[in-house]
Structure 1
Amino acid sequence: MIFVSVGTANQGFDRLLRECDQIAYRIGLPFFAQIGSSSFKPLHMPYQAWLSRDEMQYYYQNATAFIVHGGFGTLSEILKLGKPIFVVARLFEEGEAGNNNQTDLAVKLHSLGLIYYIEHLPHLEAAIVQRETYLFRQNDLLTTIPTLIQEYVGQLIHHK
């Protein structure tokens, strides 16, 4: 099962859900979506607006792959699982976020080989179909993310 999550933002993420709904229809794989505040209601995949922590953990454990927004909370949970993660960042320009910080995080994690960043939504289907050909690095967030933050802050200090 491919688990789709749009997170808990007040803005919907209809753009992602529409695409995933069509992909689920075309390729026939089981999907489940957490749709949050989105107004779009999928026709070809089961969904629920909000999930409890236990329900989220159930889907995290049972998913074979993830299609998620680029929020740190979701990513920090699923990166530990070693399963394919495809990130479609919420965009300010689309009214999906207050800024484009999800893009920054997704680009960085993609460069590290931890996730696959989908910059152009029409590329998502091909990535999902080919998901087993991608090599994702295993990650232990307890050591890697603080190191990344420390290095980034160090770069900021040295540039002033």
Structure 2
Amino acid sequence: MIFCSVGTQLPFSRLVDYLYRWSEFVNKQQKRIVIQSGGEVNSKKLDNILVRMFVSEEEFSKYIDECSVFISHAGMGNIIRAIELNKPIVIVPRLGSLNEHRNDHQTDSANRFSSLSNVFVANDFDSFCKAIELASGYCDNRSKTAYPERDKLIKYLNSQISLL
């Protein structure tokens, strides 16, 4: 199952459209997909896609635990969650140039984490398809205790977020 979260503050039709296009034309509707759409609903109906405008924290946790690939906007909470759980995450940053956000800070966030082995960044449909392919093949054989710098990074990011 693929779980996609666009966040709750702003719609993100480009990401939702990418996922529908990928499901219909690349994946041929084989893989089950759950989308937390943040208030936006695509009018197209595909049998393999469940769209939920909003989900509770409990449902969110269930979906992220069950998914094989997590797709998200470049929200720090989602990125940190994927890092903590060693989930492969495809990040599609909202772009200021497309009026998806006030500026391109999400691009900066996504690029900052792109060197991690479970992070795959996509800025257009072609890179989105490639990122899903790479994320689907991701296998983390590392022990959580073998990477103390990851834990330091998570602790630091959580401390900075708590200051906001």
Q: Where in structure 2 are the equivalents of 1:2-151 lying within 5 Å?
A: 2-9=2-9, 11-26=10-25, 27=27, 28-44=30-46, 45-134=49-138, 142-146=151-155
Alignment CA distance shift 1:60-1:134 (3 Å): closer
Q: 1:114: Cα distance to partner?
A: 4.2
The superposition leaves residues 34-69 of structure 1 with CA deviations (integer Å, 9 ceiling, x where unpaired) of 000325345221110001110101101111111100
User: 118-127 or 87-96: which moved more?
Assistant: 118-127
What amino acid does structure 2 have at the position aligned with 1:34?
Answer: Q
Alignment CA distance shift 1:82-1:7 (3 Å): same
Q: 1:108: Cα distance to partner?
A: 0.8
Alignment CA distance shift 1:102-1:80 (3 Å): same
What amino acid does structure 1 have at the position aligned with 2:126?
Answer: P
Task: Name the % identity.
Answer: 28
CA distance in 2, matches of 1:46, 1:98: 29
SS of residue in 2 equivalent to 1:18: helix
CA distance in 2, matches of 1:25, 1:132: 17
CA RMSD of aligned residues (A): 2.6
User: 105-114 or 43-52: which moved more?
Assistant: 105-114
Contact (CA 8 Å) 2:68, 2:87: kept in 1 or not?
yes
Extract unaligned runs of 5+ from structure 1: 151-160
Contact (CA 8 Å) 2:89, 2:119: kept in 1 or not?
yes
Q: 1:129: Cα distance to partner?
A: 2.8
Contact (CA 8 Å) 1:24, 1:30: kept in 2 or not?
no
Count of residues in Structure 1 that have an aligned counterpart in Structure 2: 149
What amino acid does structure 1 have at the position aligned with 2:6?
Answer: V
CA distance in 2, matches of 1:145, 1:83: 14
Contact (CA 8 Å) 2:87, 2:118: kept in 1 or not?
no
Contact (CA 8 Å) 2:94, 2:106: kept in 1 or not?
yes
TM-score by length of 2: 0.78
TM-score by length of 1: 0.80
SS of residue in 1 equivalent to 2:114: helix
Extract unaligned runs of 5+ from structure 2: 160-164
